[in-house]
Chains A and B, each alone.
Chain A
Amino acid sequence: MKTIPVSATVNGDAVEFLCAPDETLLDTLRDRLGLTGAKEGCGSGDCGACSVMLDGRVVCACLVLAAEAEGAEISTVEGLAQGERLHPLQRHFIDEAALQCGVCTPGILVAAKALLDRNPDPTDEEVRYWLAGNLCRCTGYDKIIRAVKSAAAEMRGDAR
């Protein structure tokens, strides 16, 4: 198989890589670029553990070919914190104990940030529908919804 050269932006940095034509963006991120935050859960777009941002939309990286990323802007959970300073979503996930094993967490953080960027004050129902494609098998969703909403309140500057 002929490898394909790809230039893209990942978490604000210009990156170049070679990929196989049938290689997924998830495999490239994890195995070539060392960004192991996005996880492979199901590999069929059902679980959302591989959620990343691709040109402004949250997508399952397991259902994107790396070759499609030519010229694209990608961001992953690794781009959320600024140095040592965690993103409010990350802090509130810790404070609310919204994770146990953590496999689903990077995808949920990326998807939740995409929601709050569009809708800074979502209802419970809006959060639940938006995150319906992010499966968690151990925390239970209540804590996740609470963490997203309390992060949203902090980001809006609401007094609590």
Chain B
Amino acid sequence: MRYEAPQTVEEAARLLHGAPAPARVLAGGTDLIVQMRSGVAEPALVVDIKRIAGTREIVAEDGGFRIGAAVPCAAMGEHAALCAAWPGIVEAANLIGSTQVQGRATIAGNLCNGSPAADSVPGLVAAGATARIAGPGGVRDCPVVDILAGPGRTTLAPDEFVVSLFLPARPPHAADAYLRFIPRTEMDIAVASAAVNVTLAGDGSVAKAQVALGAVAPTVRLVEAAGEALVGSRMDDGALDAMTVACRAACSPIDDKRGTVEFRIHVAGVLARRAALIAFNRAGGRT
């Protein structure tokens, strides 16, 4: 195995493009190094992107935030402006693994690892986040939702990597929330999860809502019908019931020791409902 720590995006892209397969990108390493040590991944080349300028920074951009691909989850929780604007995404990032894992793990890595249960991905999808992706042809921006392909898979080409994630500008009276179900209180993988992102209109009703579910389908799933069910409402029971039905209809989970199909479908609806109310209250809404 070769280890390289390039200083520029171009150099990293060149290394990945010219590499004998398999090559892997290293940010926080909390998935990759586990895979390497267990023999699941045997990369011929590891490209550490942490020395590339900007990959370890959170910067304000166009009213939103650009989060470098190597920013550890713990650093997100320490960024007051990010926490204020995107509390749901930050709370999701700070649910991943232990304190030790949060000191290294990144949301870009969480996305690229491709787990349907990835805690930070429903929030990114509900936020309409985009990923900046570098490859041999240069850099492109892609909605996070279009990167998801299936368990352990993304739509990135083998010689592409995520440089940063972008969370768009927030209008006033907007907020998000994330909830997951695990059988313990920490250090576990979501059995079902839900992120809700809402923007309120001037009269306090929901102007826009996006709902994304985790661990109930081969990928994190954006449930457009669930978001639409909330529009115009003040989170009254009728709107929440319609949203819950839409969420459950979008679920196609697996049945395993962590949860049955029926349980996952039911809980996804419950979590979405609770997350919607939290996001609504955070946005300043009053039922």
Contact = CB atoms under 8 A, between A and B. Distances in A.
Contacts of B227: none
Interface in A14-53: 21-22, 24, 43-46, 48, 51
B26 A65 contact: yes
A26 to B, nearest CB: 11
B46 A21 contact: yes
Given A64-B29, A65-B29, A21 B34 contact: no
A24 B104 CA distance: 14
Interface in B110-159: none
A133 B97 contact: yes
A143 to B, nearest CB: 20
Nearest to A19: B3
A130 B186 CA distance: 10
Report, as a range, how many residues of chain A touch the other chain. 20 to 34
B259 interface: no
A51 B103 CA distance: 11
B102 to A, nearest CB: 9
A58 interface: yes
A70 interface: yes
Contacts of A51: 100
A63 interface: yes
Contacts of B97: 45, 133
B3 A65 contact: yes
A133 B98 contact: yes
From A4, A45, A133, name the one whose CB has the most chain B CB atoms within 10 angstroms.
Answer: A45
A28 to B, nearest CB: 13
Contacts of A70: 5
A57 B103 contact: yes
Interface residues of A, dominant DSSP: mixed
Contact of A46 (B2, B26, B29, B187): B187
A95 interface: no
B33 interface: yes
A2 interface: yes
A134 B99 CA distance: 9
A133 B100 contact: yes
A104 to B, nearest CB: 13
Contacts of B50: 68
Contacts of B185: 129, 132
A121 B3 CA distance: 42
Contacts of A44: 34, 37-38
Interface in B22-47: 26, 29-30, 33-34, 36-38, 46
A130 B37 contact: no
A22 B46 CA distance: 9
B1 interface: yes
A57 B30 CA distance: 14
Contacts of B29: 63-65, 68
B15 interface: no
Contact of B104 (A63, A67, A132): A63
Nearest to A64: B29
B1 A21 contact: yes
17 contacts: A22-B36, A45-B33, A45-B101, A48-B100, A60-B100, A62-B33, A63-B34, A64-B104, A65-B26, A65-B48, A68-B26, A70-B5, A114-B99, A115-B99, A129-B185, A133-B97, A133-B100
Given A22-B1, A45-B30, A133-B99, 11 more contacts: A21-B2, A22-B46, A45-B34, A57-B72, A58-B100, A58-B103, A63-B30, A63-B101, A111-B100, A115-B99, A133-B97
